[in-house]
Structure 1
Amino acid sequence: MNRKVAIIIVSHSVNIGQGIKDLISQVITNVPILMACGIDNNEIGTSIEKIQAVFETMDSEAEGIIFYDLGSAKMNAEMAIEMFGVKNLQIAEDVPIVEGAYIAAVESNMGKSKDEILNSLAKLKVKEF
């Protein structure tokens, strides 16, 4: 069976992360949607430890794409990747978190690879004027 690319949400807010997961789950049910949102007691912020905890739940062969809400969430995801030494995860940079995660989940469900999904997401990247 073809393994689905996991969607990992790194948000300062548990509510934002849960809302994205709920939105995707209404149409896609068999793609892993993982959340590393908020800090202890689910307060606002991001935590390298929560991100690493998500990594630990994943199979070592699993691929995933990380979506983030703000710059410090991206920074913590980058540090967690470096500290944990994962090679099969990639951050979707400059991609809107809701639309990007949704499109990635749909394409993962279609059986597309991480690289194919990232190519699709490139069309969503925020452009500078």
Structure 2
Amino acid sequence: MSGAEQVGIVLVSHSGPVAEAVVALARELAAGGATAPMAAAGGTSAGGLGTSSELVAAAAEKVDRGAGVALLVDLGSAVLTVKSMLAEGDELPEGARLVDAPFVEGAVAALVTASAGGDLDAVEAAATEAYGYRKT
């Protein structure tokens, strides 16, 4: 995979500040080299709580490097928004995929894997595996 072809990651949250904070945290934790493109799509275009398909589409376009885009979401209507966008088929880049993963841990795992050159399947697997991270 060339440097130009890399999986992009979009974090879709009901809160702009939450999405931005998780992007910052993931970048901090994955530091030590070049990282894959990651963007936040949080809240509404007016800055309120909610989910905006326009913000999701813009973020996906921003991180698309030709190897697919992994979309991680926080809560119910964010899932519905992304599923609807994928069903429409024309709002998201080709190869965009909703990833069923914990929002924070999955974002970190996805970014580390994508930054190491993992393909979309590997990024999805790493993010999904984060469900198994035990805290006790």
TM-score by length of 2: 0.80
Structure 2 counterpart SS, 1:41: coil
Do residues 87 (structure 1) and 115 (structure 2) align?
no
* RMSD of equivalent CA atoms: 2.0
Long gaps (5+) in structure 2: none
Change (3 A) 1:117 1:55: closer
Separation in structure 1 between the aligned mates of residue 99 and residue 43 of structure 2, nearest angstrom: 19
Shift of residue 71, structure 1, vs aligned partner: 1.0
Structure 1 runs not aligned, ≥5 long: none
1:65–1:114: 8 Å Cα contact kept in structure 2? yes
Distance in 1 between residues matched to 2:71 and 2:116, nearest whole Å: 18
* Paired positions, count: 125
Write the deviation string for residues 102-129 of structure 1: whole angstroms up to 9, x where unpaired: 0010011111111112223332348xxx
Q: 1:119 aligns with which of 101, 125, 129?
A: 125
SS at match of 1:42: coil
> Which amino acid in the other structure matches residue 104 of structure 1?
A
In 2, Cα distance between equivalents of 1:49 and 1:58 = 15
In the other structure, the counterpart of 1:25 is 27
TM-score normalized with structure 1 length: 0.84
